Structure 1
Amino acid sequence: MAADVGQLLGAPVIAPDGSEIVVSLSTSQGAYLFRRPLKSNHMIRMEGTQSASLPFWSPDSHHIGFFADGQLKRTPAFGGSFVILCDVVEPRGGCWNGDTILFAPNLRGIFRIDATGGTAVPVTVLDAGAGENSHRFPVFLPDGNRFLYFSRSSSLETRGIYLESLDHRQHRRRVLVADGQFALGAVPDSDQHFLITQQAGKLVAQGFDCNNGKAFGAEHILLDHAGQVSASDTGALALRADAQVRSTLVWRDREGRHLGILGKPDDYWQATISPDGRFVAIVRHDALTGIFRAWTASLANGQMEVLSDADHVDSVVWTHDGKMLYYRDFVQRKLFRRSVDPRGPEEFVQSIAGGNICGLSPDGLTVIVERSKDGIHSVIEWSAISPLQWHLIDSNGFVGSTGLSPDGRSLAFGSNSSGRMEVYLASFPSMKNLRRVSVDGGSCPRWRQDSEELFYIAEDQSLMCLDFSASERNRGMRPKPLFRTALANPTRSPLYDVASDGSRFLLLERDSSISGGDVELLLNWPSILSD
């Protein structure tokens, strides 16, 4: 049908009446919702759905709910203006009964809101003591009151699909162990239902009694690969294979030539080289548990080992001597540090609210963070580590990433305040001499260790270079393309780093051993159950 690489765009969802499918796909103009009637091969782009993700249908198949621009929206399926229902930061799925919509913000419980809008209220609560860190992907049962959802947890004893109800008469209980997003499928012309889940990399169906809310019977393997799935009441099933779970840490020179690989493919979210060139600090994610830990890799022998005791690390940054790492646990909201060689204990530094740690001053006394204001716009703030007293740098847009020059004099950051993502540069901390330095789009700035070169990723994914040496300043400092990258997921940052002398780069690239991202369609999946 179509190919796409965005994991968080959501499952391709089939209308309850089985007439058509809607899916969020990436285009050169950004993500959009596309409709495809099942009797046609033509994809129809839905205008007014730019940046849309995680669509879901109304029960009458006449409207579509989706998330875009930090908001929950609804739109007529066959054309018309969208309606904003409420703000939602980092959504993780939604569903719709007659007059109620359930939706899941990341790292929180399930919320409900009237289908016409209003005030959103929570209907489930995380059990942090049991290791739960996110309720997501709600699915209504046919009675429109009870619903299922996936509880992500650091413990296998609590992870799985749970049953609850809007009126809270249904006592919460786990009905099945599963590995993530799932669907409730019906056998046409019967009252039989099956839970269609991801189990050990396969797509599996197991009987589910909607009356007593219990799974039963044998598991049936539908497909030997898994992904994000939806099903209709007509026996149709759609699947988007997970193509972007893994990335590879690849070394390349300034011409883009392949120099080698660090470690094995995994779900990496950040890699940063120590200033002394001895180690790489990595943020590594376990999608099943939601755990993010900081790791280090020795460049002498390639050995990787866990660095952080904290298990929800969202950013790591080196001290300028390369001896210590600072990192934040976004659940505990605490800043930690740890010496790397020799390995020291994990030290609590300071309680710190939301925001990615993106820089330390050369003396290690000042920290810079990026914070989201509303899920759409961001700000940059800096403070002495102790005591904290934040100073605001308003980027007036979404911040792609921020990079403090190693000499501590200049701050580079990405912002879409002009209508597209560009890289800006200003003196730090005064923020004087603010100017745009990218041409035709840019994000994710990174510095050479002597602060003489600044690199960034252009809109076409080329790695660009700005030379700040005296000779180049006299020539106007035009950015120069080095090579075209193949970064794993352009929505994450930083996705690469540069060696201290600027001679080579470490990039988080798409894992070429994984094919997929295709949207597959099974028109009569119950027929497989008899095999």
Structure 2
Amino acid sequence: MLFSVLTQANHWSDYRIVAQSLKTGERRVLVRGATNARYLPTGHLVYAHGQTLMAAPFNAERLELTGAAVPILDGVMRANHGGPSSQWGFSGAGSLVYVPGGISYDSELVWVDRTGAGRPLKLPPGDFDSPRISPDGNRLAVTVFGDKPDIWIYDVLRETLTRLTFDGYNSHPVWTPDGTRVTFSSYRDGSSHLLSKPVDGSGAEEQVGSREIATLFPQSWSPDGRVLTLSGLQPSTRSWDIWLLSHEGKASPFLQTRFTEGSGILSPDGRWLAYVSNESGMYQVYVQAFPGPGGKWQVSTDGGTEPVWARNGRELFYHSGHKMMTVEVTSGPAFTAGNPKTLFESEYQSPSTGVFSGQNYDVTPDGQRFIMVRGKEAAAATDNPFMNKNAPQINVVLNLFEELKRRVPVH
């Protein structure tokens, strides 16, 4: 049996191709930094290294490569995050089918008004995720998946994009209340971290606190900067829960039930927590008193994910399928919620790491615009000159088995 293994970081260079005997259970790592292995009847192991297909002679009985790998095809499309799946396959007769294109740049950042009208940022195509607007509205922090995920800062006034992080694999930025730093999740040196860094580049990264479990994604700071809400994935149950990081630097579970909870966002006054749970049998948005005790309210009525508070605390936004919803709320000493209303409907992307891990959009301080991530297919219909409008195609190569036997002999 052949499969790909990833321990922590979500990047193709950390994947390993593993072979395991179904008889003995013996497991061997065959190739590092590669995915999508296939064993062919010609005695070859074919796999993807980045956008290149490689072939090597393989002894299936001994579970070992018996010769050097040789590149056989370049320019095969692969996803850039969310699992680097390479888009290719073989038929039993020896034909190869693949999607050309190399690395798949999937998205663009778009300003969207309350009617749904969008205006893309003047940026080349890329894989964008989890954009966050600074407290003053003049900058964006966003995850960009290139060779690896990193945090970048976009200056709204100057229309420039500047890289903030360089080491490790970094994602899920959250602004501190004063707008001077960004907190983010990072995997480096074989372990996961919660880090913080000044956005002007004036200082080094700092450890925010300890992590009790491997996967903790920051969500929001309390207004006083003393508590950080987190979405945490339990390895034993594969279930999301809501965690808190105190100002002492210790992470602990806050909302942990037999259901799945995540995307916990504090209200601007810090008194209420909006989050997503599947306790009703479907994803819904809830609000409860923070830190408690107090009541709990279901805000969405027909499914909901990715809650975001308006900065004035009088609206709560969320996604219901492809619909952007808004609910009028009061979030002072007592909480009340009106009926949800649809602002617009459009196919903007959800977070690459799942609906419990956070939001893939944000709202400006005046509540009149959203920064959202639009997928390549939707963007191709727009007038954005940076996006590739060519329709995707599938290429077929016939009789590749014979070519493999010639170029990569099996002894």
TM-score (norm 2): 0.76
- Cα separation, partners in 2 of 1:241 and 1:455, compared to 1, 3 Å: farther
| Structure 1 pair 355–198 and aligned structure 2 pair: CA distance change class (3 A) | farther
CA distance in 2, matches of 1:357, 1:475: 27
Contact 1:379 1:396 in 2 (8 A): no
The structural deviation recorded for 1:450 is 2.5
SS at match of 1:110: strand
**Residues 470 and 270 of structure 1: CA distance in aligned 2, closer, same or farther (over 3 Å):** closer
Report the 3-state secondary structure (helix = DSSP H, G, I; strand = E; otherwise coil) of the residue aligned with 2:69. Answer: strand
Give CA deviations for 1:341-399 in whole Å, capped at 9, x if unaligned: 36332223334332211122222222222122357521111121434141341254444
Give the Å deviation of 1:115: 5.7
Q: What are the residue-to-residue correspondences of 1:115-514 with 2, within 5 Å?
A: 122-124=27-29, 134-142=33-41, 147-151=45-49, 161=54, 163=56, 170=64, 175-176=69-70, 195=72, 197-199=73-75, 228-239=87-98, 245-286=105-146, 289=147, 291-331=148-188, 332-341=191-200, 343-352=202-211, 353-374=214-235, 376-394=238-256, 396-399=258-261, 401-430=263-292, 432-459=294-321, 461-469=322-330, 477-489=338-350, 491-492=352-353, 493-511=358-376, 512-513=379-380, 514=388
Provide the C-alpha distance between the structure 1 equivalents of 2:341 and 2:210, rounded to a whole number of angstroms.
Answer: 41
Pairing 1:92-111 to 2, within 5 Å after superposition: 101-107=1-7, 108-111=15-18
In structure 1, what residue type is equivalent to 2:345?
A: R
Q: Is the 8 A contact 1:198 1:227 kept in 2?
A: no
Q: Report the CA distance shift for 1:363/1:417 in structure 2 as closer, same or farther (over 3 A).
A: same
Give 3-state SS (helix, strand or coil) of 2:256's partner: strand
Q: How many residues align?
A: 369
Structure 1 counterpart of 2:110, which letter?
V
For residues 209 and 34 of structure 2, the distance between their equivalents in structure 1, rounded to whole angstroms, comes to: 29
Could you tell me which runs of 5 or more consecutive residues in structure 1 were left unpaired when the two chains were aligned: 1-100, 127-131, 178-194, 203-225
1:400–1:444 contact (8 Å) kept in structure 2 = no
Q: Deviations over 1:443-496 (max 9, x none)?
A: 11111122221111112x11001111489x999511111111221356555221
Q: Could you say if the C-alpha distance between residues 303 and 468 of structure 1 is closer, same or farther in structure 2, counting changes exceeding 3 Å? A: same
**Cα distance in 1 for residues equivalent to 2:162 and 2:67:** 37
- State the one-letter code of the partner of 2:271: R
Q: How far apart in 2 are the matches of 1:270 and 1:433?
A: 30
Question: What is the distance in 2 between the residues matched to 1:148 and 1:234?
Answer: 16
CA distance in 2, matches of 1:522, 1:143: 19
Query: Hey, what's the Cα distance between the residues in 2 that align with 1:522 and 1:160?
Result: 14
Cα distance 1:199–1:403, how it changes in 2: closer, same or farther (>3 A)?
A: same
Structure 1 residue 309 displacement after superposition: 2.6
Q: Could you give the per-residue CA deviations for residues 255-278 of structure 1, whole angstroms, max 9, x where no partner exists?
A: 112345252321112211011112
Stretch of structure 1 that moved more, 103-112 or 234-243: 234-243
Q: Distance in 2 between matches of 1:428 and 1:415?
A: 16
SS at structure 2 position matched to 1:124? strand
* Aligned-residue offset at 1:292: 0.7
State the AA in 2 paired with 1:138.
A
Name the SS for the 2:317 alignment partner.
strand
Q: Hey, what's the Cα distance between the residues in 2 that align with 1:241 and 1:426?
A: 48
Alpha-carbon displacement from aligned partner over 1:257-305 (angstroms, at most 9, x marks no partner): 234525232111221101111210010002xx3x111000111111111
Distance, in Å, in 2 between the alignment partners of 1:173 and 1:328 is 40
Q: Is the 8 A contact 1:458 1:464 kept in 2?
A: yes
Q: 1:260 to 1:428 in 2, by over 3 A?
A: same
Q: Could you tell me whether the CA contact under 8 Å between 2:210 and 2:249 is conserved in 1?
A: no
Higher RCO (C-alpha 8 Å, min separation 6): 2
Deviations 1:497-526 (A, max 9, x none): 100121111110113234588674748466
In structure 2, what is the Cα distance between the partners aligned to 1:388 and 1:510? 37
Aligned mates of 2:139, 2:268 — CA distance in 1: 17
Structure 1 vs Structure 2 CA RMSD: 3.8
**Contact 1:448–1:502, Cα closer than 8 Å, also in 2:** yes
The 1:161–1:401 alpha-carbon spacing in structure 2 relative to 1, beyond 3 Å, is: farther
Question: Is this contact kept in 2: 1:236–1:521, CA < 8 A?
Answer: no
Secondary structure of the 1:468 match is: strand
Equivalents in 2 of 1:406, 1:355: separation in Å?
A: 22
What per-residue deviation string (whole Å, max 9, x for no partner) do you get for residues 177-208 of structure 1?
Answer: 5xxxxxxxxxxxxxxxxx4x342769xxxxxx
Give the Cα separation in 1 of the matches to 2:336 and 2:240.
34
- Summarize the Cα distance change of 1:434–1:104 in structure 2 as closer, same or farther, 3 Å threshold: farther
Note closer, same or farther for the CA distance 1:123–1:521 as it changes in structure 2 (3 Å cut): same
Paired-residue identity, %: 24
Inter-partner Cα distance in structure 2 for 1:340 and 1:251: 22
The 1:175–1:244 alpha-carbon spacing in structure 2 relative to 1, beyond 3 Å, is closer
| Residues in 2 aligned to 1:377 and 1:425: alpha-carbon distance in whole angstroms | 20
In structure 2, runs of 5+ residues without a counterpart are 8-14, 79-84, 381-387, 404-411
